[in-house]
């Protein structure tokens, strides 16, 4: 009876919570897909293929295949015990890859806003160091995966596989630091460059898709750190990891679509900038007196 009350029931509740979270992330992706589909058709599908287009399709559609695999991994109890660790590593190794790609676009956004050689050098150094640190912590994390033997495999499947939460907290901390730095830079640069153009479509995108998205991701990172560090049950370590994984590509792809939408609409009447956005065969005109024609270029 003690095992049932103290181990089995709490463990199954944690497993159910993780299943619900994974299912919610898939529902979030589906909702975002249909919400942005009309804009995607006009801004991506009908345009020439480019490097950013390829990155867009990876960020947009890879999670659609990947997120269900998290749900199946957590839900199924028929996976052989010896296969749990290899499948877990193979399944989760793409998480830092997708987050790194999404953050690369966000770093590029700050580069475009700043148009400064010193800032560009800093952004490259910051990004490279943070990505190396993330992958280093991820590799160490994988080496310390272990099975909670007291959780019966017939009930928990591969859900009894855990690792040292300090490494995942470190990854969340790096991502959080990146998001906070980018949010501050976005606020400062957008205010300095576009203080006279607050009502323009481009400026609204800088505020909403820039600062707003950065802050949202920072909040999720903070919650992940708190859950990972403070919750006494190690089975809750991955509860919100998929949420963060899902939000990064969603926010990044929405930002790309919104920028293209402004480019294709021609911006507002008091803006002046010539811009070649990704996937466009011709140069679209967005007018913004604070920038030069070369300031915002996607290829």
Average pLDDT by stretches of 10, the chain with 299 residues: 64 82 92 94 84 87 89 82 85 87 85 86 95 93 77 72 79 89 83 60 66 81 83 72 89 86 61 37 35 38
Q: What is the pLDDT of residue 198?
A: 55
Residues in the chain: 299
Domain ranges of the chain: 10-262
Residue 284 φ/ψ, nearest 5 degrees: -95, 150
The beta strand positions in the chain, using DSSP E, are: 146-147, 161-162, 274-275, 284-285
Contact present, 102 and 175 (Cβ < 8 Å): no
The pTM score is: 0.77
CB atoms near residue 67 (< 10 Å):
20
User: How far apart are the C-alpha atoms of 194 and 254, rounded to whole Å?
Assistant: 21
Selected from 3.30.1490, 1.20.1070, 3.90.1200, 2.60.98, the CATH number assigned to the domain covering 10-262 reads 1.20.1070
Contact indicator for 179, 214 with CB cutoff of 8 Å: yes
Pairing of strands 161-162, 274-275: unpaired
What are the φ/ψ torsions at residue 66 (nearest 5 degrees)? Answer: -80, -45
pLDDT (0 to 100) of residue 123: 95
pLDDT the model gives residue 125: 96
Instruction: Give the orientation angle of helix 94-114 with respect to helix 81-92, to 10 degrees.
Output: 10
| pLDDT score recorded for residue 193 | 65
Q: What is the DSSP letter of 283?
A: P
- Quick one: pLDDT at residue 169? 85
Q: Pick the closest to residue 214 from 174, 247, 191 (CA basis).
A: 247
Cβ neighbours for 15, distance < 8 A, ≥ 6 positions apart: 74, 156, 159, 235
| Spatial contact of 51 and 278, defined as CB atoms under 8 Å apart | yes
- Contact 63/249 with Cβ under 8 angstroms? yes
Burial 137-173 (b: 16+ CB within 10 A, else e): bbeebeeeeeeeeebebeebbbbbbbbbbebbbbbbb
pLDDT for position 216: 84
State the pLDDT at residue 162: 73
Distance CA 80, CA 278 (A): 45
User: What does the pLDDT look like over 58-78, one tens digit per residue?
Assistant: 999 999 988 888 888 888 878
pLDDT the model gives residue 279: 40
Contact of 22 with 242, CB cutoff 8 Å? yes
CA separation for the pair 202, 120 (Å, rounded) = 21
Q: Are 106 and 211 in contact (CB under 8 A)?
A: no
Cβ atoms 96, 138 nearer than 8 A: yes
Query: 276 has which bridge partners?
Result: 297
CA distance 128 to 122: 10
Half-sphere exposure for 219 (CA within 13 Å, toward CB): 7
């Amino acid at each position: 009876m003690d095992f049932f009350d103290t181990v089995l029931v709490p463990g199954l509740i944690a497993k159910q919570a993780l299943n619900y979270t994974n299912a919610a992330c898939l529902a979030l992706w589906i909702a975002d897909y249909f919400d942005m589909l009309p804009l995607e058709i006009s801004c991506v599908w009908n345009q020439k293929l480019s490097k950013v287009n390829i990155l867009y399709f990876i960020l947009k559609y890879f999670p659609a295949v990947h997120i269900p695999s998290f749900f199946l991994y957590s839900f199924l109890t028929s996976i052989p015990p010896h296969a749990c660790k290899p499948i877990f590593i193979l399944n989760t190794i793409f998480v830092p890859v997708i987050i790194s790609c999404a953050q690369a676009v966000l770093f590029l956004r700050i580069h475009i806003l700043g148009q400064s050689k010193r800032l560009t050098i800093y952004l490259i150094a910051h990004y490279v160091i943070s990505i190396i640190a993330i992958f280093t912590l991820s590799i160490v994390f994988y080496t310390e995966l272990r099975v909670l033997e007291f959780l019966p495999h017939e009930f928990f499947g591969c859900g009894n596989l855990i690792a040292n939460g300090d490494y995942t907290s470190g990854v969340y901390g790096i991502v959080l630091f990146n998001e906070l730095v980018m949010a501050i830079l976005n606020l400062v640069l957008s205010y300095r460059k576009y203080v006279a153009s607050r009502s323009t479509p481009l400026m609204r995108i800088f505020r909403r898709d820039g600062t707003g998205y950065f802050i949202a991701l920072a909040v999720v990172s903070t919650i992940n750190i708190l859950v990972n560090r403070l919750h006494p049950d190690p089975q809750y370590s991955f509860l919100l990891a998929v949420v963060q994984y899902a939000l990064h590509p969603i926010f990044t792809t929405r930002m790309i679509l919104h920028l293209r939408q402004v480019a294709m609409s021609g911006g507002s009447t008091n803006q002046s900038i010539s811009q070649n956005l990704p996937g466009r065969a011709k140069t679209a005109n967005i007018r913004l007196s604070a920038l030069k024609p070369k300031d915002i270029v996607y290829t």
